A and B are shown apart, each in its own frame.
Chain A
Amino acid sequence: MPETARRAALWAVLAAATLLTSGCAGWVRDNLTQSPTPWRRIQPAALPVTLGESRDFPIVAARMRDTGAVYKTYNVALGNPTTLPGENRLTIDVQTLPDSLFGALVQPPRVFPVPLYTMETLTVTTRREFPDMKVKVADAARRNRYGDYDYATAQDEQNTCVLAWQLINDHKRMLPERIEAVRVEYRVCGVGSNIRALLAPFDGMTLTLPETILEAQDLGGL
């Protein structure tokens, strides 16, 4: 029934808006809350992620910033044993559900796109991250504790780099109620040609957010 569709869609949105704004009479325009805060240094211990000990890719620095009340972004700079330009890093974006009535109405634009990459944006990114290297997008996904992820590799005579990306948004089974999605991106260059070794820290990573994210292995059915 077309009308049903009309009504359902419209008033579902309205009802949500209603709930969240009641009692919010005086509107304060606050543009600044929507743009990202500057990066600030944090201790590696304060990161919501644990990486296995790695001689080649130690944590050099950790930073975070907020975007609105919804996004927290963590940037972990990792050691880079090569002479290539660009930092090795792990980036984690945590999208939480707004915890205030106000926050629900003024959501900042999403800090990462979904899908995370298209062929076009991936090309742009790899060209920027790995200039003058031969880039290949992996045909098959790999799996870490949080399910499947995709990656691309780049190589020159001496070095190999990987770019891996993953969107964790399984609300039903993995994510706690308060978390809407987690985006993880991993960019590492190393000497040699062992792709698996480069991906090892990403494969072994554990997310340690305040509420537990269940791992894919925990869920027998996956």
Chain B
Amino acid sequence: MTSPAGTSRRDMLTGAASLGLAAFGLTAFGLTAALPGTVRAAPYDGNAWRRYAERFLLPEGRIVDTGNKGISHSEGQGYGMLLAVAGGDRAAFDRLWGWTQRVLMVRGDGLVAWRWTPDGGVADRNNASDGDMLIAWALLRAAETWQAEAYRTAAIAIVKALASGLLVEQGGLTVVLPGRDGFRKGDTLVLNPSYWIFPAIRAFAALPGGERWGKLSDSGLVLLSKARFGGFQLPPDWMTLDASGTVGIAEGFKKQYGYDAVRVPLYLALDGYRDPYYFRPFSTLAAKYGGKAVPATVSLPGGTTTQVAASVGMLAVYRLACQLAGAGGEAVTVPPLAPDEDYYSTTLAHLSALAAQSLGIAP
């Protein structure tokens, strides 16, 4: 299944990882550029970035969530910055980072306020850990790509703030709280499996003093093995972890697998994981629906599905999962992005393409 070219790319990736460098950087962003000949087609490239920027990047430097009343948030800024680095557009990157610093980094603790609305400005000062992680990771990527130490310094500041305020030990595991405030109910934590952005965590672990991030990564895999519910054995969008290390589906949130947790296989793939065990729940779900009208959410543990179908970007994630689970990528039909495809779907589609490239299974 793996082409010879793919194999060699994997080997180089492994080598890079063992040197303690950010694996994702060298492959998806670095290698693609360095070894254009080995890539048959580049589904995500400078052109893709320009189209993305035209649709979602406003002149002042914010990514607009078109599916959500034109608001902006730290997650969007992070995704935008990552895609800008991968698209080689430093000017756009600077605009994004500038707006993020200026408008969202108003908490005073180095973390990013998560939500901004056109009417009210910063609407919620709490942070969202995945947004912080994406931004810091994009900064590290930028520092490497453009050899700019300032980005790296800024990234380290965010990583340190995250480590001191959001990393927590519980039940023998190191976990990341979804936000600085809230998420503790008694001695039980509320966690979000899709906040384990494995390639970002690996990049943070490679920084001086980054050992706890290494543990976070290990714990993430353990949690993803434990947090399997319902007939498809899917992770919930929101889960609990009690002091004894037992996981559950969080109360007070929608008890479902859905828009959040769909990113779990994406982030695993982006970090070079390829153990079919971790991708099988998603491929099983996709296969059940013939790889087409996959439901956007599945209630857990009951298994009730919505009428709403998965977006193009989500289908792209499912194709990736099927390939890694050994079910074959052809099991899922991914239509082209629509002209009015929304921000989240488009972002997932591009990141899936990057992951497939980095694993050598693209297109």
Contacts and interface: CB of A to CB of B under 8 A. Distances in A.
Contacts of A31: 186
A155 to B, nearest CB: 41
Contacts of A105: 182, 184-186
A18 to B, nearest CB: 4
Contacts of B185: 105-106
Given A3-B344, A18-B124, A27-B184, A13 B252 contact: yes
Interface stretch (A4-12, A184-192, A193-201): A4-12
A1 interface: yes
Interface stretch (B62-70, B154-162, B208-216, B264-272): B62-70
Interface in A105-127: 105-106
A215 to B, nearest CB: 33
Given A9-B253, A13-B252, A15-B124, A4 B184 contact: no
Contacts of B253: 9-10, 13
A17 interface: yes
B342 A1 contact: yes
Nearest to B183: A17
**Majority secondary structure, A binding face:** helix
B281 interface: no
Given A3-B342, A4-B68, A106-B186, A11 B181 contact: no
B259 interface: yes
A17 B181 contact: yes
A7 B124 CA distance: 13
B296 interface: yes
Contacts of A3: 65, 67-68, 259, 342-344
Interface in B127-186: 178-179, 181-186
B186 A29 contact: yes
A207 to B, nearest CB: 29
A21 interface: yes
Contacts of A6: 258-260
Given A10-B253, A15-B124, A106-B186, A21 B68 contact: no
Nearest to B124: A15
Interface string A1-39: 111111101110111011011100001010100000000
B219 interface: no
A176 B67 CA distance: 38
B187 A14 contact: no
B183 to A, nearest CB: 7
A6 B259 CA distance: 7
Given A18-B182, A21-B181, A105-B184, A2 B260 contact: no
B283 interface: no
Given A3-B344, A11-B115, A105-B185, A18 B254 contact: no
A106 B187 CA distance: 10
Interface in B39-73: 65, 67-69
Contact of B68 (A1, A22, A29): A1
Nearest to B344: A3
Interface string B207-250: 00000000000000000000000000000011000000000000
Contacts of B178: 14
A4 B69 CA distance: 8
Interface string A142-178: 0000000000000000000000000000000000000
A105 B254 CA distance: 17
B311 interface: yes
A2 B296 contact: yes
A6 to B, nearest CB: 4
A176 B64 CA distance: 41
A18 B259 contact: no
B299 interface: no
Contacts of B308: 2
B305 interface: no
B260 A10 contact: yes
B126 interface: yes
B266 to A, nearest CB: 15
A18 B126 contact: yes
A4 B187 CA distance: 31
Given A7-B68, A11-B124, A17 B311 contact: no
Contacts of A22: 181
Interface of B: 65, 67-69, 114-115, 124, 126, 178-179, 181-187, 237-238, 252-254, 258-260, 296-297, 308, 311, 342-344
13 contacts: A1-B67, A3-B344, A4-B67, A5-B259, A7-B68, A10-B238, A13-B252, A17-B181, A18-B181, A21-B181, A27-B184, A105-B185, A106-B185
Given A1-B68, A18-B182, 10 more contacts: A1-B342, A2-B297, A2-B308, A7-B65, A10-B237, A10-B253, A11-B115, A14-B179, A18-B179, A29-B186
Q: Lowest 9 CB-CB distances: which A-B pairs, in order?
A: A17-B182, A3-B67, A6-B259, A18-B126, A18-B181, A3-B344, A1-B67, A21-B181, A4-B68
Interface of A: 1-7, 9-11, 13-15, 17-18, 20-22, 27, 29, 31, 105-106
